[in-house]
Structure 1
Amino acid sequence: MSHYRIAVVVGSLRKDSFNRKLAHALARMAPADCEFHQVRIDDLPLYNQDDDGQQAESVQRLKKEIAGSQGVLFVTAEYNRSIPGVLKNALDNASRPYGQSAWAGKPAGVIGVSIGAMGTAMAQQHLRNVLAYLDMPTLGQPEAFIHAKDGLFNEDGTIGEGSKDFLQRWMDRYIAWVKRHNG
């Protein structure tokens, strides 16, 4: 395969989300044979098993976007030491009905940025537990718990010099992970 489509799930709905900025900056660091596209999760209904037989259009769209991707990049905030509810809702919706999960087998990367010194370490650990159950092979190393501080982003939205090399190495490892799992 010479072209890789990566679905990007940002676990924050905030307009000026640091995680959305990070997602855009990471996409700019990817090689030319990779296309990153952010999937929409803000319009999904709250997951209800009663709806499994007739999923909402927004859920069907999400499942189609995930199915059409060779990998999934999760860029998540941390709320109360865990993943945001909107992200968990997206995971639940696209994994159902049982046996028809869009996530299964998709190689995943997990990263996040927060104003806290620990970055999104707890949210990432919780997310990794869910992804293991969803049968998503998830890049284990390097871990990246990004602290949002002055200089993280340049004026043009790219990654600042202090974090650029580390995040480029992370991105290179993630892309190699996706390619490895796509033969």
Structure 2
Amino acid sequence: MGDRSDRETALSVQVKEGSSLHSPAGSIPSAGGTSSVSWQVTAKPDGTLTGADGNEYSYLYWEGETDSEYDVSKGFVVKGEDSAQFLREKLSYMGLTPREYNEFIVYWLPRLEANAYNLITFQGEAYTDSARLTITPEPDCLLRVFMAFKPLARPIDIPEQELTPFTRTGFTVVEWGGCELK
């Protein structure tokens, strides 16, 4: 018998508020809840999801508010106009596929390009602790990419953040997102 990555798999997915996530707002497909969002979906080997509503989705979407303290002591200062190439390079290195990083870029590029420069950091525990993710059955591999960025009028000096590449093995779940720091 093959692993879950080569057949349809029924999944329960929940994002629950952690120490600093407040009232997750919108979700697609609709998932409701005041302190969490949850979905029952079927995942196909190609990554396509079928929701409990019978509709097909490329991904699950949710948004919420947080008062997390993100680490901006290391990162990257990127010209707004260079954001697409920067993201393509870094997101690919971290393990996103072209389809995944292109969706990320389409979503975030207008906000990044609108600024002369951006301080861009990729968050770890500060994010994962604030938005706890539970998937049943558990995936073999889980990649959570969360970008925090701050618009800058001019470049600043900051140590470069070290990123870690991700290797997919078996049933893999990928989550990506971000926020603008004020």
Same fold by TM-score greater than 0.5: no
- Where on the TM-score scale, by shorter chain, does this alignment land: which range? under 0.3
More helix by share: 1
Structure-2-length-normalised TM-score: 0.25
Structure with the higher strand share, 1 or 2: 2
